[in-house]
Amino acid sequence: MATQREENGIVTLTDAGTAQVQDSALWNDDLRPTTRAEHNWSGWSFATLWIGMCICIPTYTLAAGLIGLGMSVWQSIFTIFLGNLIIMVPILLNAHAGTKFGIPYPVFARLWFGSKGAHLPAMARALVGAGWFGINAWIGGAALDTLLTAFYAAWANVPMHTGIVFMLFWVLTMVIAYRGPQAVKKLGAFSAPILAILAIALFVWAYLKADGLGPMLATPSKFATTGEFLNVFWPALTGVIAFWATLALNIPDFCRYAVSQKSQAGAQLLTMPVTMAIFSFIGVAVTSATVVIYGEAIWDPVALLAKFPPYVVLIGAIGIVLASITVNVSANLVAPARAIENLWPRRITFGVGAVVTGLIGIAMQPWFIMENFGNYIFGWLGTYGALLGPIDGIAVADYWLVRKRRLDLVELYKPNGKYSYAGGFNMKSMYALLAGIGASLLGLIVPGLSFLWENAWTVGLFVSMFAYWWLMRTDASLLTQTEYEHITDVQRQGGVQQDRNVTV
């Protein structure tokens, strides 16, 4: 009897399949595969999702930070554009799995690491997401702090005033996060046009204040030779790639609701690179303009906001707060909350996972990460890129090269199913992960191999991808085409069952 049904490229559980696992310890209403009716996110939903996530302060500070490191405007834009094109490849490859099988990231990870081992990549993603949550909460809180100081100067004398506002912003974000990923669609649709208008307004101000586009783009490169540029370019490129390496892993959390592969892939491919390029250009152009206007490069938008009249501070603070909440809920809370929920699906809810994520974000001291662009680009982005690159490589290799897009949904929810491997752990994925991380770490240990660490995400991805493919190419958990067709009721366009010899 078929346990899953494939219709127009989307696989869902049949009633018989659901009955087999709905009482499993690995099943709950948040982690189960989506139903056909729940595949209701159009291309516009993904477009607004990415616009809302890309127009955020970390994007601005990433672009502006490259100027501070010595790049020219065009060197900065090239680095960011290239990094976004590179990370878009694993995003779309992993998005396919979420769309086709309707599973969230922690369940997707069970395929590669096992029912228990999946906690390792899920929690690795969770820790990075929690760190990003703390960063955005700190930025949003700082914007509110600036707003209060602009309208009430005595606020600056209140003990720990920045910390107080930071906690208020933290609580506000947590309340919104309780609504879960479906609320992201509404939040993105609301915030995307507002953020776009504010970004354009900031650019127009800089254009007028700096007397034209020429002075805004006139900041020269500080590198005298190509070698000097490359010494900064390679680790900076890794930082740009790592910027969305988190979403490259947990994009199934959102694409599991897509109406089709075509709609989600087309919308993501168009909106993410384009929005990042445009807003990055605004970031570097405005930062270059501050050199002309104020005599120094102001890469922190909150610090720039403080130089405006109070009514402008109010509008700007609203934009920064909205941007911080949008990216925090969509990009930084959903995946960690799901990962924490996956630790004990029958007892831990999404809401509890969100609160734990927020607490971890505070513990990771976002105020230190944002203290200067060296901490931000080389310390924060570069280091976690070395961890997530190998996991990205394993995910892509498993779905596309090893399993060839054939999964048994029921087995994903069985504690002792075929995807539990030995005692819930797939040691082959552990070896592949260590190989990828180890290859990057050689760049920190061996003189002359620093390029390995400077390109940690890319090196780790390819090393782990190849190692995983080699170790898993004949694994017993793989489904042949015949086995897949035996458990799957495949429907043609219009709902006509495909002819095959199987009892349904």
pLDDT tens digits, 186-239: 666 677 677 778 888 888 988 888 888 777 676 678 898 888 998 889 888 888
442 φ/ψ sector (left φ>0, alpha ψ -120 to 50, else beta): alpha
Separation of alpha carbons 73 and 340, rounded Å: 41
This prediction's pTM = 0.84
Q: What is the pLDDT of residue 447?
A: 82
- Alpha carbons within 13 angstroms on the beta-carbon side of residue 463 total 25
Give residues with Cβ within 8 angstroms of 286, minimum separation 6: 64, 202, 203, 206, 216, 304
Q: What is the pLDDT of residue 180?
A: 59
**Is the model's pLDDT at 454 over the cut of 60?**
yes
Helix, strand or coil, per DSSP, at residue 116: coil
Separation of alpha carbons 350 and 356, rounded Å: 10
More confident residue, 454 or 44: 44
Residue in 357, 286, 311, 324 with CA at minimum distance from that of residue 142: 324
Q: Tally Cβ neighbours within 10 Å of residue 423.
A: 11
Q: What is the pLDDT of residue 379?
A: 56
pLDDT tens digits, 287-313: 778 878 888 877 777 778 778 888 888
Beta partners for residue 7, in sequence order: 10, 491
Separation of alpha carbons 60 and 53, rounded Å: 12
Mean pLDDT of the chain: 85
User: Domain 46-371, CATH 3.90.15.10 — does that match?
Assistant: no
Burial class (CB in 10 A: 0-12, 13-18, 19+), 252: buried
Looking at this protein, which amino acid is placed at residue 226? T
Separation of alpha carbons 84 and 274, rounded Å: 9
For the residues 452-478, what does the mean pLDDT come to? 94
**Is the model's pLDDT at 38 over the cut of 90?**
yes
Q: What is the pLDDT of residue 499?
A: 44
Domain boundaries along the sequence of the chain:
46-371
More confident residue, 504 or 483: 483
Out of 112-116, 265-269, 361-365, pick the least confident: 361-365
Out of 86-90, 176-180, 293-297, pick the least confident: 176-180
Q: Tally Cβ neighbours within 10 Å of residue 425.
A: 18
**Is the model's pLDDT at 102 over the cut of 90?**
yes
Helix, strand or coil, per DSSP, at residue 491: strand
- In terms of average pLDDT, the best of 92-96, 190-194, 356-360 is 92-96
Kindly compute the dihedral angle of the four CA atoms of residues 38, 39, 41, 46, in this order, to the nearest 10 degrees. Answer: 120
**Is the model's pLDDT at 421 over the cut of 70?**
yes
Out of 174-188, 315-329, 393-407, 424-438, pick the least confident: 174-188
**Strands of 4-7's sheet, edge to edge?**
10-13, 4-7, 488-491
Query: Quick check: 45 and 58 in contact, CB under 8 A?
Result: no
Out of 7-21, 376-390, 397-411, 488-502, pick the least confident: 488-502
pLDDT tens digits, 462-471: 999 999 999 9
Q: What is the pLDDT of residue 502?
A: 39
Query: Quick check: 124 and 391 in contact, CB under 8 A?
Result: yes
Query: Quick check: 183 and 257 in contact, CB under 8 A?
Result: no
Out of 8-17, 59-68, 97-106, 264-273, pick the least confident: 59-68
Query: Quick check: 57 and 301 in contact, CB under 8 A?
Result: yes
Q: Tally Cβ neighbours within 10 Å of residue 28.
A: 19
**Is the model's pLDDT at 366 over the cut of 80?**
no
Helix, strand or coil, per DSSP, at residue 5: strand
